[in-house]
Structure 1
Amino acid sequence: MSHPQEIPGGLDRLNERVRQDLQWLEIPTRPWVPPRMADGRRVVDVAVVGAGMAGLTVSASLRRCGIDNHIVLDRAPAGHEGPWTTYARMETLRSPKSLSGPCMGLASLTFRAWYEHRFGPERWEALDRIPTGLWMEYLVWLRTVLAIPVRNETALDGIAFREDGLLALRLLSGGRPETVLCRRLVLATGRDGLGGPFVPPVVAALPRHAWAHSADRIDFAALRGRNVAVIGAGASAMDNAATALESGARRVDILLRRRAMPRVNKFTGIGSMGVVLGFRGLPDGWKWRFMDCVLDAQTPPPRASVLRVSRWPNAFFHLGCGVESATFLGDGVRLETSRGRLDTHHVIAATGFSADLSQRPELAVIAPHIRLWKDRFAPAAEDMPSGIRYAELDHSPDLGKGFEFIEKIPGACPFLRFVHCFCYPATLSHGKVSGDIPAISDGAERLVRHIAESLFVADRALHYAGLVAFDDPELTGDEWTDTPLPAP
């Protein structure tokens, strides 16, 4: 998608405005966490895994709170963090263009400010939705203008807890092993943050070359002239079906288990600061009830994504069509469905993600200790209006007020509280503040305030010693003269 003509020097002027705004607000504020040394090297106060939108916002919020000694790690090359250049195959974002997003409440850091300075206010008024590629360019700018300390092509490979209370992170940086010591760890790892792609067992049993998940790097050019079956009813199903059609697929069949296409985006419909700030305070049953309603309705694909598919005469929608079995035939796949048989060449499972810690070997040390909602809470009938006990809710982590993990068995892994889950699986505990655009700044502020509090409390003896030792006088003694009281 071609960009509008850019305004010469527009972003330079915005960069100067951002610099001035940050200076006026004293951001970053003065660092205050006492430096800590171990094994002859400086300990990192906070390590953030993931340099997508969530990780960048956490980093910016840490600096705003004076926690400057932190790092952000991402396995992807620079400019390819998050899904936007890989499996996010939509043409535009779903979110309205006006949402403030990862700006920490600063107008000069919004997408609108970036877009208007780059292309002009008139182009902003004409813009409908944010093109996906431009959103990635905006995030790259945000990282640059805020000097976010990202280390790319660096993956978390494992975690170890030390007796001194530090976390030893085993990293693979450019393929080379490395260990970093830190005090707090934030997992800002996106939609599949505590698991991975969910693939129906009947599809997973096929030879691997016969199918793909919608989050895979798919060679769509190889599907030219072939038949493709896409399983799913969400945005990723439509975007992958459209990409296959646009790449020359001969026929694309979209198989929807439901008898009706989801049409209402429930959480968006009630979106407000009340939900953002109040969800965490709900009783457990009410949290479950809200999420049950959302999952039962399912999030619909954007209208533009569906039209992107339906305008093709060789695209076919099959509703009420659940896949019951799949057989590999040598040059294709035979699907037996609730509506009959379908022969195709390739299957794309646009079936979402699951919270499945077994898919995250880097979390193997902490996985057995993480308390899930199913370990503590059994929903009553009134908490499940759908009549379905969703596995997604059962397997959500039961998090503390600062997104920290809680031990399944108290005392079995006491340092687990130093690991924070700031990704989609936190939704049942905290609401939609850790992954989607609308409230990402509010979620990051909640997380960082908790981390700041915990670090200050942990270092209270050092801070008290600093208080006692502080003797920088504001008065020198020559500002007044001591005089006797007047005689009676």
Structure 2
Amino acid sequence: MSDMSTFPNGLDALEARLRQDLAWLELPAKAWVPPRVVDGHRVVDAVIIGAGMAGLVASAMLKRLGVANHIVLDKAPAGREGPWVTFARMRTLRSPKQLTGPAMGVPALTFRAYYEALHGHDAWVALEKAPRETWMDYLVWYRRVLDLPVRNATTVDAILTRGDGLLDVVCRQEDRTETTIARHVVLATGRDGLGGPFVPPIADEIDPKFWAHSADAIDFAALRGKRVAVVGAGASAMDNAATALEAGVARLDMFVRRTDLPRINKFTGIGSQGVVHGFAGLPDNWKWRFVDYAMRAQTPPPRASVLRVSAFPQAHLHLGSPITALAQDDDHLVVTTPKGRHSVDFLIFGTGFKVDLTSRPELAAVASHIRLWRDRFPVPADMRNGELEGSPDLGDAFEFLEAEPGACPALAKIHCFNFPATLSHGKLTGDIPAISEGADRLARGIVRALFVADRERHFADLKAFDTPELLGDEWADADAREEVSDAT
């Protein structure tokens, strides 16, 4: 058992230990990718879109493997990437605190190391789960201590193919637009990375001032004293309901289609290194069976989130109550379910996200060429699933595949490292438990592709390398000495 008294106390000491660990491991590897210049511009080996957890660990893995010439772009200001301090409204992470997440197998990079360095071992023992703001602080530290090349306040407007096999990434910062030429692009764009928030069509004719999606910026203070309804009962629905209650709403109604809340977290229950590394090797029908079953079972909201809501007497849960009609009535909405009608002042849809490549402007030039699972797999009639059918069919390094072979070869250089990769690779691209393993698979695939593409240059370097290890004075040829002796 380790002596915890020897653990670094304070971030300075932890960072010193991290530098030592990386030096002993000879990390990061030396840069090895030959530079490339096109039209007077240095080509970037990889552009990562998104600087949340997935984008940061993807960057760290590429840097670790010697792909130093890459950048990470995020539209958010520094410190507000991802959901943690924006639309995530839970008090703590759902994941157990000890999961190593983006640490890439380096102990000094773990959340535990970070937390204990700041607060001590006793505080770690007392901690139940990581507060979401603290997790964001950890990711900010992770980015800084690894010196990752993130550019904030940068929006990607388009990914365009080029005749030379490279990609143009059209970026915008405020009113300035520039184009970066890239060899590979990684979409580390999170849960809604290939689509967006899902709102049922029943809201189409309702003035947006009366409703929001749970991923939107919501002025909860403005809801004080009002009647608020939430559609859904997943984690985000519960967290938004709790936030509204804590802001002082007069009444909170939750409308749920199911007759009971799901209670068992299926995928977490079978989590193992076998699932992490073995899922991608499953036959198509088995991949579909696993993911479709888990989706139908649904993931229950955390117990703490439910208790956070039920603690308020003005909270009302309506099971078996899908919304059958929604109408505006002067200054409020009327919600109709099979069990009755309810007047509400504001409605929050906790209805999740959709996969819809055509809704992503940055993919407009290539979306029609991307092969989907519906193109690959004859879906059984009893397992129809629109989200899975619209998920991209991905290669070994999360790269898009062509719907029509040869129509858009550049797709092999665009990597889908976000939630819709689940059907092809398992849960490696968004959740904390296996994010390092996913980034490792991604980075190794990019490294392989870069090396193969530059094989002529590497072979030329092989032939040109002429630094001798032996100088020729280490020995004398015994037969040559005998020949000289015989001659004399």
Could you say whether these structures have the same fold, taking a TM-score greater than 0.5 normalized by the shorter chain as the test?
yes
Match for residue 167 of structure 1? 167
Calculate the aligned-residue CA RMSD, in Å: 1.4
Give unpaired runs (5+ residues) of structure 2.
1-6
Q: Structure 1 stretch 313-322 or stretch 471-480: which is displaced more?
A: 471-480
Deviations 1:92-113 (A, max 9, x none): 0000001010001101100000
State the shift of 1:8 in Å. 11
Q: TM-score, normalised by structure 1?
A: 0.96
Match for residue 213 of structure 2? 213
CA contact (8 A) 2:8 2:117 kept: no
AA paired with 1:315? A
Match for residue 411 of structure 1? 406
Which residue, out of 425, 429, 432, partners 2:424? 429
Deviations 1:47-78 (A, max 9, x none): 00000000000000001111000000000000
State the shift of 1:477 in Å. 1.2
Match for residue 308 of structure 2? 308
State the shift of 1:276 in Å. 0.2
CA contact (8 A) 2:334 2:341 kept: yes
Match for residue 135 of structure 1? 135
CA contact (8 A) 2:323 2:337 kept: yes
AA paired with 2:134? L
Determine the C-alpha separation between the residues in 2 that align with 1:70 and 1:101: 22
CA contact (8 A) 1:67 1:452 kept: yes
State the shift of 1:409 in Å. 0.9
State the shift of 1:330 in Å. 1.9
AA paired with 1:168? D
State the shift of 1:205 in Å. 2.4
Match for residue 260 of structure 1? 260
3-state DSSP of counterpart to 2:470: coil
The 1:174/1:9 distance shift into structure 2, 3 A limit, reads farther
3-state DSSP of counterpart to 1:368: helix
Determine the C-alpha separation between the residues in 2 that align with 1:423 and 1:360: 14
Superposition pairs of residues 9-408 of structure 1, within 5 angstroms: 10-380=10-380, 387-408=382-403
CA contact (8 A) 1:233 1:262 kept: no
AA paired with 1:476? L
Determine the C-alpha separation between the residues in 2 that align with 1:175 and 1:444: 33
Answer yes or no: is 1:467 the counterpart of 2:462: yes
AA paired with 2:82? G
AA paired with 2:384? R
Determine the C-alpha separation between the residues in 2 that align with 1:200 and 1:68: 44
Which residue, out of 411, 415, 420, partners 1:420? 415
Determine the C-alpha separation between the residues in 2 that align with 1:370 and 1:227: 44
AA paired with 2:410? F
State the shift of 1:486 in Å. 6.1
Answer yes or no: is 1:449 the counterpart of 2:405: no
AA paired with 1:70? H
3-state DSSP of counterpart to 1:323: coil
Determine the C-alpha separation between the residues in 2 that align with 1:54 and 1:32: 24
Match for residue 3 of structure 2? none
Q: TM-score, normalised by structure 2?
A: 0.96
Give unpaired runs (5+ residues) of structure 1.
1-6, 382-386
3-state DSSP of counterpart to 1:453: helix
AA paired with 1:267? F
Determine the C-alpha separation between the residues in 2 that align with 1:191 and 1:380: 26
CA contact (8 A) 1:372 1:398 kept: yes
3-state DSSP of counterpart to 1:446: helix
Determine the C-alpha separation between the residues in 2 that align with 1:32 and 1:294: 42
Determine the C-alpha separation between the residues in 1 that align with 2:175 and 2:24: 42
3-state DSSP of counterpart to 1:228: strand
Deviations 1:322-368 (A, max 9, x none): 00110011211001112211110100000000001232111101111
AA paired with 1:271? G
Which residue, out of 433, 442, 449, partners 1:438? 433
CA contact (8 A) 1:285 1:380 kept: no
AA paired with 1:228? V
Determine the C-alpha separation between the residues in 1 that align with 2:474 and 2:173: 59
3-state DSSP of counterpart to 1:347: strand
State the shift of 1:9 in Å. 6.3
Determine the C-alpha separation between the residues in 2 that align with 1:441 and 1:271: 15
Which residue, out of 476, 480, 483, partners 2:478? 483
Determine the C-alpha separation between the residues in 2 that align with 1:39 and 1:176: 20
State the shift of 1:163 in Å. 1.0
Determine the C-alpha separation between the residues in 2 that align with 1:204 and 1:77: 31
Deviations 1:223-254 (A, max 9, x none): 01100010011000000000000001100001
Deviations 1:162-185 (A, max 9, x none): 111110111012331111000000
AA paired with 1:210? F
CA contact (8 A) 1:245 1:252 kept: yes
State the shift of 1:204 in Å. 3.2
CA contact (8 A) 1:227 1:345 kept: yes
> How many percent identity over aligned positions?
60
3-state DSSP of counterpart to 2:133: helix
